[in-house]
Amino acid sequence: MFNWSKITKENIQQCFSTKYILIDNFIDQTQLESLHNIFLESDKDLCSDNNELLTIDGHPILDEIRKQEKRFVNLINDVWNEKCKRMKTIVNLMTSNHVLPIHEDSFWTNVPVRGILYLNGIYGTHFHRTVNGREIVELGGKPGQLLLFKIHNDSLHSAGLIKKSNDDRYVISIQFES
C-alpha cells in the first residue's frame, strides 16, 4: 500500500534552509481514492475550536499508517539520524477560506521531523526563505504525495497563501516524536 522504498537519504533535497523528501505516489492512487471516498461518505468526528482548521480522527488511511508506525519511525530515524520513539497522526481539514500563516514548528522541542500526506489535490505546503514570505516555493499537494521535512528555527512554511481551488484541503499530519 505504501511506497517505503523512497524514504532514503539519497532522496533528501533542500528548499531554502529546510531539508525535505517529497515522494510521489507514496500511497497507491486507487487505494487512496477508495479509502478517502469511504471517509468522505461517512460521519466524521470533527474536533476544533474554530471552523476553518479541523482535526479529524477515524480516517481509514490513518488506521493503515498507524499499523506501520514502527517501520515508519525506524525509516525516519535511519534517514534523518534521529532517535524518534513514536509518531502522532491526525487528519487536518483546512476549509477553503482558511490560511495557515508563515510559521516554523520548532516550538515542538520533541518533534524533529514532520510529515504531510496529501489526500486531495488542493495545494501543497509553501516554504519561505524569510518571515516576510516574498520568496515562496510550493512543495507537495498532489493526492498521495508525502512530504517529510526537518524542523528547525528557519523551516518557515505556510498553507493556503496560494489558492488553486475553492475546495477544502485534506491532509494527514504526522509528527515524529523523540
Tell me the average confidence (pLDDT) per consecutive run of 10 residues in the chain, 178 residues long: 96 97 96 91 58 77 95 98 97 86 86 96 91 89 96 90 80 96
CB half-sphere exposure, 54, CA atoms < 13 A: 15
The CATH number that applies at residue 132 is 2.60.120.620
58 in any annotated domain: yes
Q: Which amino acid is it at 98?
A: H
167 in any annotated domain: no
168 in any annotated domain: no
Range of the domain at 156: 4-8+20-40+49-161
- Per-residue confidence (pLDDT) for residue 48, from 0 to 100: 46
CA distances from 13 to 10, 90, 145, 164, 170 (A): 8, 25, 15, 25, 24
175 in any annotated domain: no
C-alpha closest to that of 149 among 112, 177, 117, 120: 112
C-alpha closest to that of 171 among 65, 15, 42: 65
153 in any annotated domain: yes
101 in any annotated domain: yes
CB 157 within 8 A of CB 103: yes
145 in any annotated domain: yes
CB 1 within 8 A of CB 33: no
- Per-residue confidence (pLDDT) for residue 113, from 0 to 100: 97
- Per-residue confidence (pLDDT) for residue 106, from 0 to 100: 81
Cβ burial 79-115 (10 Å sphere, 16+ → b, else e): bbebebeebebbbbbbeeebebebebbeeeeebbbbb
- Per-residue confidence (pLDDT) for residue 51, from 0 to 100: 53
How many domains are contained in the chain?
1
27 in any annotated domain: yes
Q: State the Cα–Cα distance between residues 138 and 69, nearest whole angstrom.
A: 27
User: What's this model's pTM, rounded to 2 decimal places?
Assistant: 0.92
Q: Which amino acid is it at 151?
A: I
